[in-house]
Structure 1
């Protein structure tokens, strides 16, 4: 059975991160520093635990995130972005720019993204380097 519906580049991307919840999870990991299931469950958008489990499993299968046992608490899992996940940051920032232009956003909630947008490519690269440092194992 074919893993993807088609080989169209837009379809392939949408199948991995095109649903609301996957992007919210990635956002929370990038901008909110969330690494554990319970932290991700507490997003303002009120994701349900079964949908969170489903999306985390899919994002792991697709190589966007990885998971490991928490060394401080063996029954907890730590989720991390992979390089593939970190490489979504420029796409997310383009979505932010569109929202800033057309949607009624809250500047306080979006302060981190606003800093990246206003800082341009240099700040974007700095944030990506920081994400690599925080998420990727050496």
Structure 2
């Protein structure tokens, strides 16, 4: 490998954020201010309750989100680490806007 050190920050970031749906869940929480399981599920056709539950567990374990339980409702909020990931989403947004249409420019 060309990278001379084990702790490759890009590899580690992709490992944390690269699972299917993770960035879209972060997008919904950061940009759309969705914070409930059902809201995020409805906003992402094809995402199943089982996968969303798994992703929330993983994201909580990684310190990206915090689960907030009050009475009979559960909400999720981005932690500081989750907020830091928003800059990655902004880069994707910029790239998507600039290169939409796939014309190679």
Same fold (TM over 0.5): yes
- Please give the TM-score of this superposition, normalised by the length of structure 1: 0.64
Residue of structure 1 in register with 2:3 after alignment: none
**Structure 1 gap segments, 5+ residues each:** 1-5, 105-138
Which digits, 9 at most, give the CA deviation of each residue in 1:26-46, with x for residues without a partner? 000011111111111111443
Higher helix share: 1
- Please give the TM-score of this superposition, normalised by the length of structure 2: 0.83
Would you say how many aligned residue pairs link Structure 1 and Structure 2?
Answer: 96
Q: Is the 8 A contact 2:26 2:86 kept in 1?
A: no
Shift of 1:9: 1.1
More contact order relative to length (CA 8 Å, sep ≥ 6): 2
Residue of structure 1 in register with 2:79 after alignment: 82
Provide the aligned C-alpha RMSD in A. 1.4
**Structure 2 gap segments, 5+ residues each:** 1-5
Moved over 3 A (4+): none
Residue of structure 2 in register with 1:27 after alignment: 27
